Structure 1
Amino acid sequence: MKLTSGAFVNGHAIPPQFTCDGEDRSPPLAWAGAPPETRSLVLLVDDVDAPDGVFHHWACFDIPAHYTGLAEGAGRPERFEDFRHAVNDFGELGYNGPCPPHGDGLRRYRFRLLALDCSDLAVRTHPSCLEVESAARKHLLLEARMTGVYHR
């Protein structure tokens, strides 16, 4: 399975419009190669270089298996109702992009797509990103990753 973005290349800079320095929209994402037995997908986005450990920027789940990507801005729950969003570490539902402290150096932002063997994750209403990931791991078929970088 492969995960890509039309906004940035794996290992390269995330454009400012997808961060708190811009419009803070989620970037467009595309994928291919999910196993035939996939019943749903989960997308996780986190900062792996945060000083206090992994900082979760977005988790969306119960993405229909027939999807092959998410449009730019899909991280706003009020705009897309075909899947669910978790509460991120900013305390908000949906996507909040990279926003490291000024002068804190280059940060890596990991985008992970998980193909699952279930249609619906058994999680509470408005779960945390960590709760979504934990529940998804029990149903994991395959995972794809890509990384973007950002600094201020």
Structure 2
Amino acid sequence: MNSVNFTLNSPDITEGHFMAKAQEFDGFGCNGNNVSPELNWQGAPAGTKSFALTVFDPDAPTSSGFWHWLVADIPADAHGLARSAGKGSLPPGCRSFKNDYGSKDFGGACPPEGHGMHRYQFTVWALPEDTLAVPDDASAAVVSFMLHANALGKATLTATYAR
């Protein structure tokens, strides 16, 4: 997987730093604004025909982490997603998949109180096809499997959060 020049950045979140209350979930015991951050990427590998975006918390107290957002079929000419795109304003043609909150929108950070610092991995995936070969009702695990199996490259920005 060629990811050397493929980078992801954001004016709203910073690698290794604490996210703002704006990115906290509104529900599930949390009361944030549930706003997806603006995300920008560059340097996609040659042959990229679409992108996918995932947001994953590997520190969640589950056996399988916690999926906060899964989007595929982002057009190859896209170079990012606008702030609040996770509330239903994705580019035409994108498909969203159910997160672990049970919705297809962005679900912000909401680690259990007192559980310590959690990492939130925002990853953009460069794909060699226009459409990810999964059904619209695919689970997060299946989407993740297909991304790992097919990606030409990926770029990750990891922010943190605790309550």
Distance of 1:146 and 1:89 partners within structure 2: 20
Q: Is the 8 A contact 1:93 1:126 kept in 2?
A: no
1:60-81: CA deviation from partner (whole Å, max 9, x where unpaired): 010001111000111123x235
Cα-to-partner distance string for 1:114-141 (whole Å, 9 max, x where unaligned): 1010000121123222222222223210
Please say if 1:71 is aligned against 2:82.
yes
Q: Distance in 2 between matches of 1:26 and 1:127?
A: 22
Q: How far off is 1:23 after superposition?
A: 1.2
Instruction: Report 1:46-125 matches (<5 A).
Output: 46-52=56-62, 53-77=64-88, 79-82=89-92, 83-125=94-136
* Structure 2: runs of 5 or more not aligned: 1-5, 26-30
The answer as to whether partners of 2:74 and 2:91 remain within 8 angstroms in 1 is: no
1:24 aligned residue: 34
For residues 36 and 67 of structure 1, the distance between their equivalents in structure 2, rounded to whole angstroms, comes to 15
**Structure 1 outlier segments of 4+, above 4 Å:** none
Deviates more, 1:38-47 or 1:12-21: 12-21
Counterpart of 2:158, as a letter, is: T
Aligned residue among 5, 9, 30 for 2:10: 5
Deviations 1:40-75 (A, max 9, x none): 001110111112131111110100011110001111
Secondary structure of the equivalent of 1:24? Answer: coil
Aligned partners of 1:64 and 1:14: how far apart in 2? 27
The sequence identity of aligned pairs, in percent, is 38
- What SS does the corresponding residue of 1:103 show, helix, strand or coil? coil
| Counterpart Cα distance in 1 of 2:83 and 2:59 | 24
Residue ranges of structure 1 left out of the alignment (5+ in a row): none
Inter-partner Cα distance in structure 1 for 2:136 and 2:151: 21
Q: TM-score, normalised by structure 2?
A: 0.87
The more displaced of 59-68 and 118-127 is 118-127
Any conservation in 2 of the 1:85–1:126 contact (CA below 8 Å)?
no
- 2:44 is aligned with 1:34: yes
- How high is the TM-score relative to the length of structure 1? 0.93
Tell me what 2:142 maps to.
Answer: 131
CA RMSD of aligned residues (A): 1.2
